[in-house]
Amino acid sequence: MVSPLTSTSSLPLELDSRDDGTHVRQATLHRLGRLAYEASWRLQQAWVDERQLDRRPDSLLLLEHDPVFTVGRRGHASHWQRQWPTITNAGIPLLHVDRGGSVTYHGPGQIVGYPILRLRAPYRGPRVFVSMLEETILRTLGDWALRGIRRERFHGVWIDGFDGPMKIAAVGVRIVRGVTMHGFALNVCPDLRPFSWIEPCGIADCRVTSMSAQLGVALSCEAVTASLAAHFAEVFGLTWTEDATVPLDLHGGTP
């Protein structure tokens, strides 16, 4: 089912995310490379707890995942069971997690962003927060002359193809006592085959694409990560302090 398409960039003035209109917020940026999903989930949970107690500043984690399917709170077995033997044979785990949305795939070549932010004025709640994440991705795509679009009733960012829209980035979040976790996933140059084994985000006949597929050239995730970080800071009114340290064992078990 195809819904109406909306414009590429529509960030309203009310999304200015400075605390009092004069001071830009300080935040930490963590580029974590490639990381198992379970490890990043534990890390988010620990840092959300610390952010709620004001023991750490707002943060953004940017990383890639080992191959994994994740199912959010709106997931239904019909969204992945049709190709369950293929998923099983591929040896890719399927995890039920606490974000919004249904099933999606993560893997190398896809940049995942996990903002851990205190949601307060002027972020103005989850709808505006999701819109700001989409705006960050739209601006990033624009750096490579790709025109991303929004679709009514569907979160994420799309590319308007000849045969209809194709999803290039997914958004699924959770807010825990005013602090955000989970976030977005932008397809830079991943293997797109696993998306055909599921109904991505629970959308029947959803087609998925990547930046590399659209441009016909190989892209560097490192370059796209830098662009995402810069645009995230612009959209959310942040200045980055980069932090390479992670005070948590990232190689333990599932949360």
Which CATH number covers residue 96? 3.30.930.10
Q: Which residues are catalytic?
A: 201
CA distances from residue 31 to 101, 243, 246 in whole angstroms, order as listed: 25, 8, 10
- What value does the mean pLDDT of the chain take? 85
Give the whole-angstrom CA distance, residue 204 versus residue 198.
9
Q: Could you give the 3-state DSSP secondary structure of residue 244?
A: coil
Establish if 88 belongs to a structural domain. yes
pLDDT one-digit tens code per residue, 196-249: 998 777 667 779 999 999 999 999 999 999 999 999 999 999 999 998 776 556
Residue 247 lies in a domain: no
pTM: 0.87
Query: Could you list the residue range(s) of the whole structural domain that residue 119 is in?
Result: 5-238
pLDDT higher than threshold 60 for residue 19: no
CA dihedral 90, 93, 98, 104 (to 10 degrees): -10
Q: Is 18 a domain residue?
A: yes
223: Cα within 13 Å, side-chain hemisphere = 10
| Residue 245, domain member (yes or no) | no
Q: In 3-state terms, what secondary structure has residue 144?
A: coil
Q: Is the C-alpha dihedral spanning 119, 239, 135, 98 positive or negative?
A: negative
254 domain-assigned? no
Q: Is 133 helix (H, G, I), strand (E, B) or coil?
A: helix
Distance CA 47, CA 174 (A): 14
Higher per-residue confidence, 41 vs 20: 41
- Pick the more confident residue, 3 or 147: 147
Check residue 125 and report its DSSP letter.
S
> pLDDT confidence of 18, banded at 50, 70, 90?
very low
- 68-71: strand order across its sheet: 94-96, 68-71, 103-106
Asked whether the predicted pLDDT for residue 96 surpasses 60, the reply is yes
In a domain, 101, yes or no: yes
Q: Regarding beta strands 25-35 and 238-242, do their DSSP bridges make them parallel or antiparallel, or are they unpaired? A: parallel
- Max CA-CA distance within the chain? 56
Let me know if residue 248 belongs to a domain.
no
For the chain, percent of residues with pLDDT exceeding 70: 84
pLDDT in tens, 169-206: 999 999 999 999 999 999 999 999 999 998 777 667 77
Confidence tier at 3 by pLDDT (50, 70, 90) = very low
Across 162-166, average pLDDT: 87
Q: Is residue 244 part of a domain?
A: no
Is the model's pLDDT at 99 over the cut of 90? Answer: no
Total number of domains in the chain? 1
**What is the rounded CA–CA span in Å between residue 123 and residue 130?**
10
